[in-house]
Amino acid sequence: MLTRRSALAGLAASAAGSLAAAPAAVPATNSPALPLCAFSKHFQWTSVAETATLCKELGYDGVDLTVREGGHVLPARVASDLPRAVETIHKAGLSTPMVTAGIVDAASPHAEAILKTLASLGIKRYRWGGFRWDEKQKPEAQIAAFYDRTKQLDALNRAHGMCAMYHTHSGPGQFGNAFWDIFTVTREFSPESISINFDIGHATVEGGLGAWMSTSRMLLPYTRGIAVKDFYWEKNARGVWAPRWCALGKGMVNLPRFFGYVKEAGFTGPVQLHLEYPEMGDAHTGKGMTIERSEFLRLMRADIATVRGAMRQAGLV
């Protein structure tokens, strides 16, 4: 158990042998493509009904619905509002293979109500996360604590037949930014209960020259959701080098090669498209719509075409 050993000492053994014993990939289906989902955060300026209509017109397969504070469904109202939102999306001809939930651990407000409602609707996957590194504490002790919190969430997931997907972020303080850290924890559980929502944009931020490649291959067997975005480095207004998020295909993320690894792993979705660059106006933050609607739709169509093109190039379509 992680609580009785040094997680970092075990990492070397993990690298040597755990990949060979990694859980089997999700079996392939007859679907001609991975389900591409709209992240409803970018549509929080409008209703669920209009979101569903627009997403269908844009060519998405499904919707990753925000079930968190400020989202399309508020956690306190999940039992009443989520079923209606899902029904609206399904009537538009779209699926709801997952939601993005405001769950950090089993003690998060409304966590059990969210999982119970998701289970009743047949939605088995949700995005979770939010652990933070504390530089005043030793990494080994923190990993053990994160493991204990994850174990409690695992029990809650198993009670409701749910799968939590930890979203990987880049940047200081983010647990999961090194990728071996979240691997160290999640590899202790079944990926049908505790898994990863792998963000290739953030993985490239933290390992742009080559580490993203080994990171992808290491984590994909434990991954049940993928988020896609792009960036390049530039100096910000303060003269500090920082990631500048951009449209797909305009930055450093090598989508065709990444989707080659995805195919190798037998991954079957869902894939979420994140458009978190400034040209999207406030829609990229989920706080409103500050660009012309036609421009918003044009940018989104272009990114959808790019990601589907990368999937075809990798032989996933």
Beta bridge partners of 223: 196
Here the tokens at position 76 are 């306190």
Q: What is the mean pLDDT of each run of 10 residues along the chain (317 residues)?
A: 46 41 40 81 98 98 98 98 98 98 98 98 98 96 97 98 98 96 97 98 96 97 98 95 97 98 94 97 94 97 97 92
Q: At what angle do helices 255-265 and 211-219 cross, to 10 degrees?
A: 30
pTM of the model: 0.91
Helices (H), 59-106: 78-91
Spatial CA neighbour of 169 closest among 95, 263, 91, 243: 243
The predicted pLDDT at position 25 comes to 37
The predicted pLDDT at position 269 comes to 86
The predicted pLDDT at position 33 comes to 61
* CATH annotation of 32-313: 3.20.20.150
- Identify the H or E element spanning 129: none
87 residue type, one letter: E
Cis peptide before 270 (omega within 30 of 0): yes
The predicted pLDDT at position 300 comes to 98
| Pair 232, 222: CB distance under 8 Å | no
The predicted pLDDT at position 32 comes to 40
The predicted pLDDT at position 16 comes to 40
Distance CA 178, CA 159 (A): 30
Distance CA 21, CA 70 (A): 41
